[in-house]
Amino acid sequence: MIALQRFADGASGVVRVIGQAAAWSGLALVLLVAFNVLARYLFSYGTVALQELEWHVMAVAALMGMSYGLNQGGEVRVDILYAKMTRRQTATVDAVSNLALALVSLLIAWLCIGFVESAYSIGEGSPDPGGLENRWILKAVLPIAFAILALQALASCAVAVLDLLGSEKKPS
């Protein structure tokens, strides 16, 4: 049980740090959008690359933020049913659903690897003139983000199993 507790604490801590970095990328996105708008309307300056960078930053923030949402308990539940369940029933639902999420996330991460390899091998870049090159870098975030989501799902599953086993301490 101590090893399970340490795994849950460690994995949740890693996801929390990644999620906080993703949250700060929101500030970078706001500054980038503000720069693009001001440059376009005040100075008639704008590039396709900067516009594409906006959605690149947003995509990375969203992908990395999904595991942080799970870490912070921001997932969607049917609370009308969940609220009426006993502690043991909620722990069982949490354990099974998080294990299923981990398995699906790992499958998606594994399937994305070929997608990234394909983009890398052809040197995929923006189809627009003046756009960003090396689009495979953005696509490489997909398997990483889903692997991190699987890590958090396993940590949440461990917390639920500890709850089922009667552990008093909750992982942070």
Mean pLDDT over the full length of the chain: 87
pLDDT of residue 167: 60
Amino acid type, 58:
M
Would you say 150 and 84 are in contact if contact means Cβ atoms under 8 Å apart?
no
Structure tokens at 35: 């720069």
The one-character DSSP state at 129 is T
CB atoms under 10 Å from CB of 61, counted, come to 20
Q: Does position 154 have pLDDT exceeding 50, yes or no?
A: yes
Would you say 67 and 148 are in contact if contact means Cβ atoms under 8 Å apart?
yes
Among residues 53, 26, 25, 23, which one has the least CA distance to residue 39?
Answer: 53
Among residues 144, 128, 154, which one has the least CA distance to residue 70?
Answer: 154
* Tens of pLDDT, residues 38-76: 998 899 888 888 888 998 999 999 998 888 888 887 777
Helix (H) or strand (E) holding 114: helix 87-121
* Tens of pLDDT, residues 67-125: 888 888 777 776 778 778 888 888 898 899 999 999 999 999 999 999 999 989 998 88
